[in-house]
Amino acid sequence: MRKKNRNIIEGQGITYNYLHYDEDGKVDSAQLALDHVDLDVEAGQFIAILGHNGSGKSTLAKQINALLLPGEGTLYVDGNDTRDESKLWEIRQCAGMVFQNPDNQIIASVVEEDVGFGPENMGVPTKQIWERAERALRAVDMWKYRGSSPNRLSGGQKQRVAIAGVIAMLPKCIVLDEPTAMLDPGGRKEVIETVRELNRKEGITVILITHYMEEVIHADRVIVMDSAKVVMTGTPREIFSQVEKLRELRLGVPQVTELAWELKKAGLPLPDGILTIEEFTKALDRVRGRSGAEA
């Protein structure tokens, strides 16, 4: 249905510094947040970015939406250079963004009005705004809350409204910057399931930034960042096979992966990078079968 061969995001050598100014307005110190980062994302993929607090992953996310611009290097979003000011609104429409704190990104006092905010900014005719808002709210399963006040919703519901607000702009790509960090397990599940469904059904490219290892096991590709650089990239299985390296990077692995790794260390012949409970029990059953045969 969709072309899988084109890169929707192409970044090369992206470098970015946060500058601190002294009282005279001169640059006092610079803090390197992105250090020659390359980022290629194929249209329709589900990409997860991991990294501890302060590793540069949020800065990278803001580059994709042109909220921040590369100091060095280039970043193309759907063929548009993010530094080209005339393409700014096209880029923001193409790559929508969802932030961590649901309260700080919902602008309107009624759910449907908030979903309409993006299309309004784009100058979409009124009738189409309503069609888009309905479609977006149905896609995140929040249609029945369209008339509610955001203050009355749970954290997970608020984040789904925020996602609908982005979808209503008909983006090709959504960047989510730790959308589940402030939610309870129920809310986290709601949001992640919504995002996965948008990726599968609507073919929207997803870039998910998170601390929760369990949320990335379904990604097509995982990118790990540390001190402003991309330090690992690969499939979830490839990444989570390297338990020790992840620990060094202040990250973890899903608990079941850690268990398999611990058992392997204790001498059991288990494969690396087990990601789900099902994989684990199957692998362990094979171990038992073998030891049973030996006995």
Partner 1 sequence: MLKDITLGQYYPGTSIIHRLDPRVKLVGTLVFIISLFAFGSISAYIVATAVLVIVIRISEVPPKFMLKGLRAIFVLMLITALFNLFLTPGTVLVRFWKLTITQEGLRMAIHMAFRLSYLIIGSSVMTLTTTPNQLTDGLETGLRGLKKIHFPVHEVAMMMSIALRFIPILMDETDKIIRAQEARGADFDSGGIIKKAKALVPLLVPLFVAAFRRANDLAMAMEARGYHGGEGRTKMKPLVYKTRDYVSYLLFVLYLIVMFLTRKYIKIDFPL
Partner 2 sequence: MPIRIEHLSYIYGEGTSFEKKALDDISLEIGDGEFIGLIGHTGSGKSTLIQHLNGLNKASSGRILVDGEDIRSEGYSLKKLRGKVGLVFQYPEYQLFEAEVLKDVCFGPHNQGLSDEEVLARAKEALAAVGLDESYYEKSPFDLSGGQKRRVAIAGILAMKPKVLVLDEPTAGMDPKGRDEILALLKELHESQNITVILVSHSMEDVAGCVSRIIVLDEGKILYDDAPSGVFRHARELEKVGLAAPQMTYVMQALLKDGWDVNADASTVPQARDEILRVLNKG
Interface contacts to partner 1, rule CB under 8 A: 62, 65, 67, 89, 92-93, 96-97, 99, 101, 103-110, 112-113, 116-126, 129-130, 133, 147-149, 151, 165-166, 169
Pick one of partner 1, partner 2, none as the site partner of residue 133 (Cβ within 5 to 8 A by kind). Answer: partner 1
DSSP three-state, residue 33: strand
Sole window of 33-41, 49-57, 64-72, 197-205 interacting with partner 2 (rule: CB under 8 A): 49-57
The nearest distance, CB 237 to partner 1, in angstroms, is 33
Sole window of 27-35, 165-173, 227-235, 287-295 interacting with partner 2 (rule: CB under 8 A): 287-295
Cα 261 to chain centroid, rounded: 26
Q: Judged by CB under 8 A, how many residues of this single chain contact partner 2?
A: 42
Phi, psi of 29 (to 5 degrees): -150, 155
Distance CA 196, CA 204 (A): 9
DSSP three-state, residue 38: strand
Pick one of partner 1, partner 2, none as the site partner of residue 252 (Cβ within 5 to 8 A by kind). Answer: partner 2
**With respect to partner 1, which residue has the nearer C-beta, 53 or 151?**
151
Under rule CB under 8 A, residue 233 binds partner 2: no
Write the CB contacts of 229 (distance below 8 Å, at least 6 apart in sequence): 35, 36, 37, 56
For residues 75 and 63, the answer to whether their CB atoms sit within 8 Å is yes
From the CB of residue 102, how many other CB atoms can be counted at a distance below 10 Å? 24
**Helical pair 155-167 and 111-122, crossing angle rounded to 10 deg:** 30
For residues 4 and 43, the answer to whether their CB atoms sit within 8 Å is yes
Residue 217 DSSP one-character state: T
Q: Residue from 7, 268, 272, 283 that binds partner 2 (CB under 8 A)?
A: 268
Binding site for partner 2 (CB under 8 A): 51-54, 100, 154-155, 178, 181-187, 211, 213-214, 247, 250-252, 254-256, 258-259, 262-263, 266, 268, 277-278, 280-281, 284-285, 287-288, 291-292, 295
